[in-house]
Chains A and B, each alone.
Chain A
Amino acid sequence: MTEEVETKDAIKTQEYFVNMGPQHPSTHGVLRLMLELDGEIIKRVIPHIGYIHRSIEKMSEKDSYRQIVHLTDRMDYLSNHMNNEAVCLLVENALEVEVSDRVKVIRTIMSELTRLSSHQLWWGVMGMDLGALTTFLYAFRDREMINDIFEETCGARLTVNYNVPGGVMFDIHPNFQKRVKDFIKHFKTKLPEYDRLLSDNVIFRQRTEGVGILSKEDAISYGVTGPTGRASGFSNDTRKHKPYSAYDRVEFKEILMDKGDTFSRYKSRILEMWESISIIEQLIDNIPEGEIQSPAVKQVIKLPAGEYYQSVETARGELGVYVVSDGQKSPYRLKFRSPGFSNLFVLDHMVRGYKIADLVAMMSTIDLVIPDIDR
């Protein structure tokens, strides 16, 4: 693979390969990137995945539809509620069951809280990748409040398994509304602090602005979704285009940027946090009464034979669940279209010609979660 390059001083240099990962702090998991380098300039990035493959899709083929839900917690563990919701919505749509308004609103609030907690973690880790170690502590302080809300209502902090086909597992805890309001009040004062700490910082700006530009056309052709794609101007918000749960009754903006550089991707997530706050504020005071689980969904779920697809917007982009059913208790084939997978493979396109330190910044703003890519 190596070829000799002549520089203008007639010193011969050689291109070489460096492994980044599988154990590297800024790959956020067991991702291995093979970097083809010329000096410190990156010529090519070859992502190697599969280090945390647990064959969730294959395991789903033996599990019942109720059991599949708990596996999806372990894919994109930072978007656990949305992953659960995707499978539950698919089953409900296939059975043509309408869940109550209460369930829809609870699911939407939970999803937005998950999105906030995911973006908070991303923000903390992004700062840490670029050398600002304290951001991690600030983000985790605020994220802890969301985790407490989950722990009180769902019974777990990360692998919540709160949605079940036809509803949610428990009713919300009596303290839920108070805690969420407390959190929103707290976080509204802390989010400007995020900007003061990191967004306006001159070192951070210079490392992110104009770096790793992804054009709208490339974003579309690579299938880059989520805040990563929206920062390039690609309007892809599933919540807007194919509203599910209670997203059709709330007002929110789809954050679209036009530059497509690393800073736009950063900024789009910060602005998305404000949108999530506004969605929660609209819903939290008027959670309608209703049943928690639809009686139309039986204990043993058999989907009618056919093919079904459902997509939801996770914190990283569009998660699609595709099920082929042959009328049995478990799916004949199940496929997840995970947002992280498509977003990872645009990295090679973005990073060519930049330095390794820029690669770290770009990787942070793509917001990779490796178990989501490998499944």
Chain B
Amino acid sequence: MNAIRTYFRDIFHAIKTLLTGMRVTGYYFSHARKEIITQQYPENRDTLKMFDRFRGIVTLEHDENNEHACTGCSACEIACPNGTIEIVSDRVEDPETGKKKKIIDKFIYHYSMCTLCNLCIISCPTDAIKMDPSFEYSTFDRKDLTMILNKPGSQIRKDVK
């Protein structure tokens, strides 16, 4: 007799727990509109805004006069754990003072090797490089991921020491 009672109690208990779980599912089924958190990604591209600090790609900031703040000190190159940054610098005579000054020739950035660890950004003494929150950089050719960050004809800003 006892065994039969246990048998049925187990069955009712099982049904009860299954219904408890089903109630949770049912709640979300009936409140689907309120609870949706997913985004339709390629469609919402225009309104999608990443967080300011999001690390997407390293950029060298240029102002409207096509001037940047990079002195070519190679601090970022040393800080980088993967050899992502290569700086080719040149020594040019300053026409005003006559002293030789170091300027960057090419700021080469291998995006394919970058782990976006932000160590180069925090090591930069002049805040010349920044992390940009853009993220759509897939290409068909790996060569496209090696970029020269300083724009052609760009110069170092006058006030940067």
Contact = CB atoms under 8 A, between A and B. Distances in A.
Interface of A: 63, 66-67, 70-71, 134, 141, 144, 148, 151-156, 159, 161, 164, 169-170, 173, 193, 196-198, 200-203, 205, 299
B4 interface: no
* Binding site secondary structure of chain B: helix
B14 interface: yes
Contacts, number: 65
Contacts of B14: 202
Contacts of B18: 201-203
A201 B17 CA distance: 5
* Binding site secondary structure of chain A: helix
B20 A169 contact: no
Interface of B: 13-14, 17-18, 20-21, 23-25, 37, 51, 53-55, 79, 81, 115-119, 122-123, 131
Contacts of B55: 155-156
Contacts of B122: 164, 169
A156 B17 contact: no
Contacts of B51: 148, 151-152, 155
A153 B53 contact: yes
Contacts of B25: 134, 197
A359 B117 CA distance: 38
Nearest to B13: A202
A154 B53 contact: yes
A67 B21 contact: no
A197 B53 contact: no
A153 B131 CA distance: 14
B34 to A, nearest CB: 13
A131 to B, nearest CB: 13
Nearest 4 Cβ contacts at the A-B interface: A70-B117, A67-B81, A155-B53, A202-B14
